[in-house]
Amino acid sequence: MNRATILALTVSTFGVVFASLEDHLALDDRDEIFSGAARSGSAAMAYQDFWLEPMGSECLHDAEGYLDYEAIFTPMIFGVEITPQMLDGFSLNTNGSLRLTLGIDGWAEGSVSIGAPPLLWGNLYDWASIHRCSGGVQEMCYACGRRHSSEDGYNCSHDLGCAAKNAYSNQCTCPPLLVKVNCDDDNWNLSEDRIDTNPCASDDEIEGFQAIGIGKYCCCHGDISGTTSVSELTASSELRLWNGTTAASSSANSFAIEAIAASSGIGSATVSYEIRDETNGFLRAITRQVTAANLEIRPDINDDGTIDNYDRFYFDNGETWQLRVRDEPYKLALVSECPSAATASLLAVLVEGTGTVIRTEAMGGAILPLGTTSTSPLFAAKNEAKELFVDTSGGPSTIYLHYSLGFGGAHSPLTAMRQIHVVDANVHEEWATTNSLADLVYDFSDVTGDIYWTIYDDEDNIVDYGDNSSFTPIDLPPGNYTVEVYFVDVYDDGILGYTSSADLHVIDVRLARLFETANEANRIFNSTRKDDTTGNTNAVTEVVYEGTPSEERYAAPRNYLYTVGDPVTGNFNVSAQFDATGAEGCTNYYCAFYQPNGQKVIGTETNIDFTAETVAFSLPAPALITNVVWELRGGLDVNQNATLDNDEAAPFAIYTNSANIVKHARIKGITKKMYEDSSDYIDNRVDLWLYGDNTPPAIIFTRARTLLKMFFMCTGERGLAPDLAPTIVNSNVVMHAFANDGSCFSEWLTHNSGAEYDLNGNATVCDYTWDEGSDMSEFIASQWPFVPKVPTVGMIGINWTLTQTGYILHQFYTNVVESQVISYMNDMEVGTVQTFPTNGGWYTQATSTNFFSSLSPSWVPGITVDVGINPGGPTAALLSEFLATNGAADNFEAHITIGRGRIINPRYRFEVQKQNGDNGITFVVTNIIFGCTVMDLYDFNYEDGGAATHAAAVQLGFGNGSNQGRSEHGKIFTHKMYILKNYPYPFTR
């Protein structure tokens, strides 16, 4: 329906006058045929009215005498968007001027071109030019003076005496005038009554009818011009005049007729009238043929399942019918009231987007072909309504439905078009994490009309609300919410007031634990405080301070889970437990591991089932890489493509280091190959240590080899050199990986592996003990820091210098003991040997002096000392041994045998002999007796580098100690060495 047909046009003064657009818009009036001025208004963010003043001589019409103003006034405002509604305001006002209302969004300057499009004027005129009559003889209806062809474009007025004028007859040869049947229910009583005789917006079936006056075709020289009138106008029964009668007599030359029923045949309805001149009286009678027909695409606007006049109450926007996505179909009908010879056809169903279809029957019915023109008639008989169904369940899209009523070429077909715009006005269930709420957008901007949205918590308290069509919730704590959106002002567009709601689940997912599947004790998080100040600074970049800075630090990064590839598959088998709040029912949370470059590791993506206590990952290890560092990331599959996209994934924070940098959960995976290499490496060290294959083994570092063998060979005390094997084995010592109770060395346990830990971190390990006088105990007691004197290489040979302990002993003897000696032995005979203290006891750390200072913070029990010396590496130690035999190798062996150890109850005695020296009586310390217990945990730190890294790989490779098919594996153990050592003068051994 051409909404411009509501216009009533004057017979003689119709013309187009255009106003130049003030302020910001200019008129592209290339033919210089327009004048006038814009009346008012700003052009920014508003509507502006432009008034077109009458100009007089311009003639615009088509074959039917109608003007498609929408087509004529082609908006071409560059940079300015003219909304479709702007043409709604285009009307001819009562004094003959045109009012053009432009809706302007934005602020810009541009121009408007007004011209006749080819649709109206053919190609003879540029679309941007307006037609202006200039006279001439053309084919026309000699009865009514109308052109027969719209292509001539000339001469709708004639000079006096011209042939056309002279050949006037009563026989009108024009094609029938097409008038749409008015089907209005003007009183809204649900039946077509057409009682409203006043033009109104909804009465778009009322057709303007212009009787061609004398002045129209006899205006060339004006001899008949002047006051002419049209009178005795009558209409057939299908038609009625504007005032509600079927016949009238009027002196006016402009009428409106409306069709109240379809004509029986094409052109069978008629309008007849006489033309009279004031001077000459009756000039002649004219009868025009009219075809009355109707064509509608009628939606079930109120969505009550019935297409009736109720639907007319709501519908006023023309072509667009806005629907929402839903499962139930909408109804619409193709309705025609037409002459018997007419043919109704569905011309085309064009769809933008996918999803929505039009079915001939309800859900499941045949789908009308899309994108193609259907030429087959939809109606077999006259006045039949065809009901169709719009299936919007497929998603948002736009359908253009074109419908046509043809009249066998008698005149242009009657067409109707309906745009069906399907929008998703449904709130969908959403999942968001607490750190991704900012990315969650509810967007209903595609829906016309106002909306109000509200978010309720699970106790129906409103936590957020608004009225914007696109919104993001505020930061919400984890929980279940309901998002409700009320679409208010949308019934005009086809959607009745509608409320949609859906759950919003805000979840908070944190990593509770990441651990080796076979050994849950080897894990992140491991909150056990650590005491490790062994100087592993080279390979250690992570330093965690948990208590007083500088007191405690941990050599292995705590955000790393160290694991070794499965011996069969090579995969890294790790498991995770999540502390997920509000995740009940969440099925679209994924985790994956990422390489340092941010790329997802293929094959690691896992959909997380939060109902499961543990999520197991079997991570395919690369074949050509010995170790990997992969970061665990997780997130919701927001775009629902069943994969975790990079922008959806976020790492899991483990801790913030001293530099205030957040550290994330990672695994350090040691591949099967590296494990096997490490295993061979340590195997060689066990047997050969630092020598090559051609050098007889078991010559040096026998003690270190012994412990390494016990660790690596899984033979415990078996197969050891008899003089080095532990004296006692207690195979039932419970070690607590997570207990800082001072009894189990957890503060020194670098990786919670190498033992069969239970879920609480308890494992039974072996405790090996060497008794007093054993080779192992004697050896350790002879090294730093226990031995009072050590050799150093000087310029002229070996010098014996006091160790720190020796110095303290010397100070203690001088300051405390010596006076006791002199007093006690003063009266004794020369040569007497006396032990101090004289009561058979000991000078102890508790009662005498601090013989040893602990390297560990106060919370670490006992006194910790570094046993032996690391002179800078094995090579240096060997070199030192060969060059100077100064004990460096032994001290190094002690270092790699124990490293940092705990000493219990260190105590001393001095044996003093009264001697007669060169300078008289002297009291000479002839022997220092030292007793203590050295305790240690035997394990390895992967970050230490060198052999320790290999050993740690072996230690790490066995999960819960069940060795997973390997025949060899490392087991950590605790050990004690009871020391009762004599250091005879000069106290060097």
Q: Are 238 and 246 in contact (CB under 8 A)?
A: no
From the list 58-66, 480-488, 707-715, 795-803, the region that binds another protein by CB under 8 A is 707-715
Per CB under 8 A, which of residues 461..490 are in contact with another protein? none
Q: Which stretch binds another protein (CB under 8 A): 431-439, 594-602, 708-716, 743-751?
A: 708-716
Q: How far apart are CA 676 and CA 685, in angstroms?
A: 14
874 vs 931 by CB, closer to another protein = 931
Please state the closest distance from residue 696 (CB atom) to another protein, in A.
Answer: 7
x-or-dash string of contact with another protein, 758-777, rule CB under 8 A = -------------xxxx---
Which is closer to another protein, CB of 327 or CB of 693? 693
Using CB under 8 A as the binding rule, whether residue 730 contacts another protein is answered as yes
With CB under 8 A as the contact rule, the residue among 719, 872, 917, 946 that binds another protein is 719
Q: Is residue 965 within the footprint of another protein (CB under 8 A)?
A: no
632 vs 655: CA distance, rounded Å: 14
Options 456, 560, 908, 978; binder of another protein; rule CB under 8 A: 978
* Cα distance between residue 922 and residue 826, in whole Å: 10
Residues 876-935 binding another protein (CB under 8 A) are 905, 929, 931
C-alpha distance from residue 85 to each of 4, 89, 204, 619, 824 (Å): 13, 7, 17, 60, 120
- The H or E element containing residue 825 is helix 818-825
**Among the candidate windows 83-91, 393-401, 511-519, 686-694, which touches another protein by CB under 8 A?**
686-694
* Candidate list 494, 651, 716, 868; residue touching another protein; CB under 8 A: 716
Q: Are the C-beta atoms of residues 667 and 630 closer than 8 Å to each other? A: yes
The label of the residue with tokens 């052999």 reads 947
Is the Cβ–Cβ distance between 318 and 301 less than 8 Å? no
Q: Pick between residue 530 and residue 971 the one whose CB is nearest to another protein.
A: 971
What is residue 815's three-state secondary structure?
Answer: helix
Q: Is 401 in the site for another protein (CB under 8 A)?
A: no
Q: Which of 341, 968, 988, 989 binds another protein (CB under 8 A)?
A: 968
Nearest-Å Rg of the Cα atoms of the chain is 51
Stretch of 206-214, 403-411, 594-602, 685-693 contacting another protein, by CB under 8 A:
685-693
Residue located via tokens 């056990």:
528
Do strands 589-594 and 606-607 pair parallel, antiparallel, or not at all (unpaired)? antiparallel
Regarding 697 and contact with another protein (CB under 8 A), the answer is yes
Q: Answer yes or no: are the C-beta atoms of 210 and 191 closer than 8 Å.
A: no
Contact window for another protein (CB under 8 A) among 455-463, 596-604, 718-726, 938-946: 718-726
Q: Which of 751, 300, 340, 798 minimizes the C-alpha distance to 532?
A: 751
CB of 697 vs another protein, minimal distance in Å? 6
For residue 650, the 8-state DSSP code is E
Give the C-alpha distances (Å, rounded to integers) separating 321 from 185, 310, 854: 20, 16, 85
Q: Could you tell me which residues come within 8 angstroms of residue 471 by beta carbon, excluding any fewer than 6 positions away?
A: 441, 442, 453
| Spatial contact of 540 and 974, defined as CB atoms under 8 Å apart | no
With binding defined as CB under 8 A, does residue 967 bind another protein?
yes
Residue nearer to another protein on the CB measure, 457 or 775: 775
Q: Which residue is associated with the tokens 């001469």? A: 155
Q: Does 213 bind another protein (CB under 8 A)?
A: no
- Shortest Cβ distance from residue 778 to another protein (Å)? 9
Amino acid 528 reads: T
Shortest approach of another protein to residue 542 CB, angstroms?
35
Please state the closest distance from residue 909 (CB atom) to another protein, in A. Answer: 8
Nearer to another protein, 654 or 713 (CB): 713
Question: 676-682: long-range contacts (C-beta < 8 A, 24 or more apart)?
Answer: 677/626, 677/950, 678/949, 678/950, 678/951, 678/953, 678/954, 679/950, 679/953, 679/954, 679/957, 679/968, 681/947, 681/950, 682/708, 682/712, 682/947, 682/950, 682/951, 682/954, 682/970
Which residue from 713, 735, 765, 889 is in contact with another protein, where contact means CB under 8 A? 713
Q: How far is the CB of 753 from another protein (least distance, A)?
A: 17
Q: Where are the alpha helices (DSSP H) in 106-183?
A: 118-121, 163-166
CB of 771 to another protein, least distance (A): 4
- Of 375 and 731, the one with the shorter C-beta distance to another protein is 731
Find all residues with CB under 8 Å of 378, minimum gap 6, and list them.
334, 344, 345, 346, 386
Q: How far is Cα 940 from Cα 536, in angstroms, rounded to an integer?
A: 12
**By the 8 A CB rule, do 65 and 59 touch?**
no
Cβ nearer to another protein, comparing 153 with 716:
716
From the list 542, 566, 717, 866, which residue makes contact with another protein (rule: CB under 8 A)? 717
CA neighbours closer than 13 Å in the CB half-sphere of residue 35: 5
Q: Kindly state the smallest distance separating residue 937's Cβ from another protein, in Å.
A: 18
823-842 footprint of another protein as x/- string (CB under 8 A)? ------------x----x--
- Angle, CA 353 vertex, CA 349 and CA 357 arms, to 5°: 45
Does position 543 bind another protein by CB under 8 A? no
Q: Does 725 bind another protein (CB under 8 A)?
A: yes
**959 in contact with another protein (CB under 8 A):** no
What is the smallest separation between the CB atom of 857 and another protein, expressed in angstroms?
Answer: 24
Nearest to another protein of 366, 698 (CB atom): 698
Residue 495's contacts (CB-CB under 8 Å, 6 or more residues apart) are: 322, 323, 324, 423, 425, 447, 449, 487
DSSP β-ladder status, 81-82 and 498-516: unpaired
Per CB under 8 A, the list member of 722, 797, 920, 986 interacting with another protein is 722
- Out of 45, 124, 474, 698, the only residue in the binding site for another protein (CB under 8 A) is 698
Which residue number, 548 or 732, has a Cβ lying nearer to another protein?
732
Stretch that binds another protein, among 101-109, 144-152, 322-330, 961-969 (CB under 8 A): 961-969
Contact status: 721 vs another protein (CB under 8 A):
yes
Q: Is 249 in the site for another protein (CB under 8 A)?
A: no
Given the complex with another protein, which of 110 and 931 has the nearer CB atom?
931
Bridge partners (DSSP) listed for residue 405: 344, 414
**Of positions 227, 962, 984, 985, contacts another protein by CB under 8 A:** 962
Site for another protein contains 328 (CB under 8 A): no
User: How many Å apart are CA 878 and CA 891, to the nearest integer?
Assistant: 11
> What is the Cα 110 distance to its own chain's centre?
40
- Distance of CA 885 to CAs 877, 882, 890, Å? 10, 6, 9
Pick the stretch among 327-335, 568-576, 687-695, 852-860 that binds another protein (CB under 8 A).
687-695
In the complex, least distance from residue 709 CB atom to another protein, rounded to whole angstroms: 10
User: x/- binding map, residues 112-141, to another protein, per CB under 8 A?
Assistant: ------------------------------
Pick from 502, 483, 511, 474: nearest CA to 589:
511
Tell me: does residue 696 bind another protein (CB under 8 A): yes
Buried (b) or exposed (e) across 785-823, using 16+ Cβ within 10 A? bbbbbbbeeeeeeeeeebbebbebbeebbeeebbebbee
- Judged by CB under 8 A, the stretch of 131-139, 143-151, 462-470, 690-698 that binds another protein is 690-698
How far lies 362's CA from each of 304, 332, 357, 358, 389, in Å? 15, 11, 11, 9, 6
Tokens of 838: 């004289």
We find the least distance from the C-beta atom of residue 846 to another protein, in angstroms, to be 13
Alpha helix ranges (H) inside 839-923: 874-884, 888-897
Q: Tell me the site size for another protein, rule CB under 8 A.
A: 38
Q: Which residues bind another protein (CB under 8 A)?
A: 687-688, 693, 696-698, 713-723, 725, 727-731, 771-774, 835, 840, 905, 929, 931, 962, 967-968, 978, 980, 982
